A = this chain, B = another copy of it.
Amino acid sequence: MLRERLEQMLAANPQELHTIFDGAMPADLADALASLTDDELLALIPNISPAMLATVVQEFDEAQAVRLLNLISTDQAVQLITEMSADDAVDMLQWLTDDLRTRIVQALPADSPLHELLEYAEESSGAIMTTEFLTVRPEWNVDKALKVIRAGAEQAETIYYTYVVDRRGRLVGVLSLRELVLAQATALVSSIMRTNVIKVTDDENQEQVAAIFRRYDLMALPVVDEHGVLKGIVTSDDILDVVDEEATEDIQLMAAMQPSDTPYLHTSVFKLAKQRFGWLLILMISATFTGQIMRHFEDFLAQLVYLTVFIPMLMDTGGNAGSQSSTLIIRGLALGEIQSKDWWKIVRKELLVSALVGFGLATVNFGRVLLVERYPANVALVVSLTLAVTVMLAKIVGSCLPILAQLVNIDPAIMAGPLITTIVDALVLLAYFSIAGAILGL
């Protein structure tokens, strides 16, 4: 609908396009703009001010941004990028090919804060912060502070926190707009500011920044360099993106994929295949160890082919039991609810849980194999005992590996289902053949 209105206005009265932009939300306009043809887009751009266009374009996703910036001139790109929020501008520049990015960055004004922001490592607080913040000085009074805020409000990302810096730009305090509005006009900023400011350094990982937002229910967090100089702020809407991104990354790693934050429908077939091939290959080759175990027991199996019938059920149940534990631990570590020093509490808990679950399942299984599938009792016993042992082994392995990974600074999410399954498979078969050998006397 918005798209149709844009098209009509573009055809009939392009200089009035801004009236549509005025009344609609940037995210909705972004969708409408993305669905226009190249020619329509090019016709629209000169009729909208760069500032107005920037509020919409900064909502674009990777594919949409890349298309637009390849379409317009370098001059237009520079105008647009300069008007955008610094954090969105940095994201967008990083999506471009090196060639196009270099061309635009070289054309940016020398004093643009983007030059510095682009230096920060991906996923650092410096890379997600924005530089549009307001500062006041501790020696000012409230009246002067409010005047400065009024004057700068249009440009700032948030005016709900005002940061107090000394003459060297070092962060010394913070004031909420609420506190300023409620204070006496003559009070000194230094007398009403809070001095225990929660802040992060500019090289902090974004996951850690999200943890601080979670813990302290913040709306904005100041970012300082190693000298304590205020460099930028991270706002809560950026953190929502970080939290989504980190959960997506973990979920993808847990399903044995190289993580990627490009939306599925905008990712090429080749990139999707590449993202999945590596882990599948590693896991396929690991699974051949399981094959080696079976090969070792081939003569044994030849005598008792009916035992193979239970192998899929045992392997699947083991894999699932292990995934349950590893998933809980991985998520707990990611949210900071579990620390690696808790490992002993976790192992003890998993032993108890797995004993309950394992023997519960084994009991049901014993009845089923004996009464429904009508195997002899000793076979039912072998399968059910193996099942109980499997569940216990799987849960111990599943809970310990993510903690071990954390201790040696590997992302615990790698130790999820697929890897656990491969390890548990081998353990299951060894347990199965040992128990069968002992009970069936082979």
A interface vs B, CB < 8 Å? 23-27, 146, 149-150, 153-154, 159-160, 177-178, 181-182, 196, 198, 213-219, 236-237, 239-241, 243-244, 247-248, 250-252, 254-257, 263-265, 269-270, 272-273, 276-277, 279-281, 283-285, 287-288, 290-291, 294-295, 298, 301-302, 305-306, 308-313, 315-317, 319-321, 323-324, 326-329, 331-332, 335, 337-338, 342, 345-346, 349, 352-353, 356-357, 360-361, 364-365, 368, 373, 387, 391, 417-418, 421-422, 425, 429
Contact = CB atoms under 8 A, between A and B. Distances in A.
Contact of A327 (B255, B328, B429): B255
A154 B315 CA distance: 59
Given A215-B27, A237-B236, A240-B240, A311 B312 contact: yes
Looking at chain A's contact residues, the main secondary structure is helix
21 contacts: A24-B196, A27-B217, A154-B182, A177-B177, A217-B237, A219-B236, A243-B247, A256-B320, A257-B327, A264-B338, A272-B328, A273-B356, A280-B317, A280-B321, A281-B364, A287-B312, A287-B316, A291-B310, A298-B309, A315-B315, A320-B418
Given A256-B323, A302-B302, A305-B302, A214 B328 contact: no
B251 A331 contact: yes
B298 A331 contact: no
Identical copies of this chain, number? 2
Given A305-B301, A349-B269, A331 B248 contact: yes
A356 B317 CA distance: 30
Given A196-B23, A281-B364, A328 B257 contact: yes
A373 B289 CA distance: 11
Given A160-B160, A237-B236, A361 B182 contact: no
A280 B390 CA distance: 12
Contacts of A27: 215-217
A177 B146 CA distance: 13
Given A25-B216, A265-B338, A316-B418, 6 more contacts: A26-B216, A251-B331, A265-B332, A277-B356, A301-B305, A417-B417
Given A239-B240, A240-B243, A353-B272, A265 B345 contact: yes
Contacts of A321: 276, 280
A316 B361 contact: no
A263 B346 CA distance: 12
A69 B213 CA distance: 27
A283 B280 CA distance: 23
A324 B257 contact: yes
Contacts of A327: 251-252, 254-255, 257
